[in-house]
Amino acid sequence: MSTKQYPQRTCIVCRVKKDKRELSRLVRTDTGLQIDVSGKMNGRGAYVCNNPDCWERAASQSILAKSLRAEISENDRMYLRQIKPQ
C-alpha cells in the first residue's frame, strides 16, 4: 500500500518545509491582505506556519512584503497580529 503524498510548501519566515495543509496561506488582494482557507484564492500568496513567532516576524519585518511583492500597510500588520495563532 502506498501512502498519499501531499504538496510541500515552505514557511516564508522560518524556512521549514511542511505539508501545504499545515501552513496558512496569506494572499495579497485589491482590498488588502487575506487568509486563504481554501488554498485556491487568486492572487500572489505566501505561506506561514502556525508558530506565533513566525506570525509576529511576518507582521513586523519586511519578509512578507518581499514574498508578496507589495507594500504591507499598517492595517494589514495589525490584522496579522490579531489573527496570529496562540
pLDDT for the residue 6: 87
- 52 in any annotated domain: yes
Q: What percent of the chain has pLDDT over 70?
A: 98
Per residue in 34-72, pLDDT (tens digit) is: 999 998 899 899 999 999 999 999 999 999 999 999 999
Asked if residue 57 belongs to a domain, the reply is yes
Q: Is the pLDDT of residue 1 over 80?
A: no
3 domain residue, yes or no:
no
Q: Any idea what the CATH number is for the domain that residue 77 is in?
A: 3.30.1230.10
Strand (E) positions, the chain? 8-10, 17-19, 24-29, 32-36, 45-48
pLDDT band at 5 (very low <50, low <70, confident <90, very high): confident
Per-residue pLDDT, 32? 87
User: How many domains are there within the chain?
Assistant: 1
* Residue 14 covered by a domain: yes
Residue 44 lies in a domain: yes
Look up the domain containing 46 and give its range: 8-83
Please state, rounded to an integer, the average pLDDT across all residues of the chain.
Answer: 92
